[in-house]
Amino acid sequence: MFQKVTLENDVHILTEAVPHVRSVAVGFFVDVGSRYEPPEINGVSHFIEHMMFKGTERRTAKDIAETLDAVGGQLNAFTTKEYTCYYARVLDEHFDLAVDLLSDMIFASKFDINDIDRERNVIIEEIKMYEDAPDELVHDLFASTIWDGHELGRPIIGTSEVIAGLNRADLLDFYRTHYTPNKIIVAVAGNISHEQVVEKLRSIFETKRGTTNPRLMTAPLPSSKIMCRYKDTEQVHLCVGTPGLKLAHDRNYYTFQLINTILGGGISSRLFQEIREKRGLVYSVYSYHTSYHDTGLFCIYAGLSKENMEQALELIIAQIRDMQRNSVKDEELQRAKDQLRGNLLLSLENVSTRMSRLGKSELYLGQVIPPEEIVARVNKVTAVEIQELAKEMLKPENFSLATIGPWEDNGSFTRLLENL
C-alpha cells in the first residue's frame, strides 16, 4: 500500500511500506533529461549527474563514495531522455544517512572548476567506449533516424564536441533552472513508515524554494528512413521499428505491451523461435517498447552476419504481417498475459523496483496504479484488439531501419515493406 503527500513547495513524496524486508530504497527523481536541452548543450543533464558525485560543501568525492559503502549500501544515478534519478539502497537503520547524503549531493554540490575539467574527460572516454559498442550505439542511431531533428532523437550522453565546449556557467545555469522543488519527486519503499519518511524529508525540503515554468513539449514527427553506418565489425547490428505509444493507463498501451511480448519479449517469442531457434541466424534478437510523455518507440533488434541480413529482415516482416492478418491463438495470448503478470509481480519482490515504480508512475501518470489493476487491464485485452492495433501501429510507411556494421541496404528493405 503506497501513500503520498505534497509539501508546500510542491515536492511530491511517495512511500510504500514493505515490512517483511530489512532494506529501504530511496530515489530522488528530477523532472529533467536530455529532451529539455538545447542542442548546443546536449548532454548537460548527464554531465550534471556526474558532478553530483564530485563533492559538496561538507563531503569530498571520496567521502561520498565511502559513506554508503561503509554500511553495505548502494548509491548510484542515471539520466534518461525525460528525467534524472539519484538513488540509494540501505538497511532500514541507515535510512537517515542515505537521505542526508542524497540531499547533500543534489542541493550542495560545489561544481568545482577542476572537477568539471576532470569529469569532462571521463565523459568523453565514456562516449568513446559507447562508440566502440555497436550493439548499444545502434539504438541511439535508430532513435535519431526515426526522430530526425527532434530532441528525443539526440543522445542522452551528448557528443564529444559538445561536451568539450561545456563550461561551469552552462552547468550551473541548467542546474538552477531545472533542479527546483516543484520538479522533484522522492520515492521510498521498504521497511519504514510513511510518517518517518515525511518527517525526515520535510526537515530537508521545507526551506527549499524556486519553481520552474511549465514546459511546452512538441511531439516528434516520425520519419520513415533507412540509415546504414559502415563499421568494420564481425556482425551487423540492426534496429527496425516504428513510433510507439506514450506511457498511459489505457487499453491500447497494454495491448501494445502484449504485441511486443508476443513478437520479441522472451525466448518463447515468435522472433526468437523463428530466427534463432529454427534457423540459427542470430545469437541475439528481441523487441522492446519504450514510452515517453507524448510518444513511444517500438524497436526490434538483432545482431547477425551480413550474409543473413535479408533473410532475417524477411522473417521479421513476415511475423509482423502474420500478426496483422491472422488472429493470435488463445494459447499464445494467454501465455503472453501470464508472462507480463509474472514479470510485474516478481519484480515487486525487489524494493528498488517498487521505489522506481512509485517515482516513474507519479512522474508520468500523476498516480500509482495498483498492480492488480494493471493485471486486470492486461487480462481484458482480446485477440481482435491485438490484430487491429498491429494494423494501426505497424504500418509499412511508419517503419525505419538503422544498422551498424559491414552492410548497405540495396533496396531490399523497401521491397519487403511492400508485402506488409
User: What residues are labeled active site?
Assistant: 49
DSSP annotation string for 62-84: HHHHHHHHTTT-EEEEEE-SS-E
β-strand partners of 313 = none
CA distances from 232 to 10, 96, 118 (A): 52, 51, 32
CA angle 381, 362, 202 (to 5 degrees): 155
Is residue 39 within 8 A of residue 238, CB to CB? The reply is: no
- Grid cell of 57 as nine digits: 560543501
Q: Are 330 and 324 in contact (CB under 8 A)?
A: no
Is-contact 16 358, C-beta < 8 A? yes
Q: Which amino acid, residue 2?
A: F
Report yes or no: 298 and 287 within 8 Å, Cβ to Cβ: yes
Residues near 330 by Cβ (< 8 Å), separated by ≥ 6? Answer: 383
Give percent helix, percent strand, percent coil of the chain, each to the nearest 5. Answer: 50, 20, 30
Distance CA 54, CA 106 (A): 11
SS3 48: helix
Which residues does 209 contact at the CB level (< 8 Å), separation at least 6? 9, 181
Cβ neighbours around 124 below 10 Å, total: 17
C-alpha–C-alpha distance, residues 159 and 153, integer Å: 13
CA distance 394 to 413: 15
Q: State the pairing for strand pair 236-244/74-79.
A: unpaired
Q: Please state, in angstroms and rounded to a whole number, the distance separating the CA atoms of residues 291 and 305.
A: 30
Which of helix, strand or coil describes residue 224?
A: coil
Q: What is the CB neighbour count within 10 angstroms for residue 70? A: 10
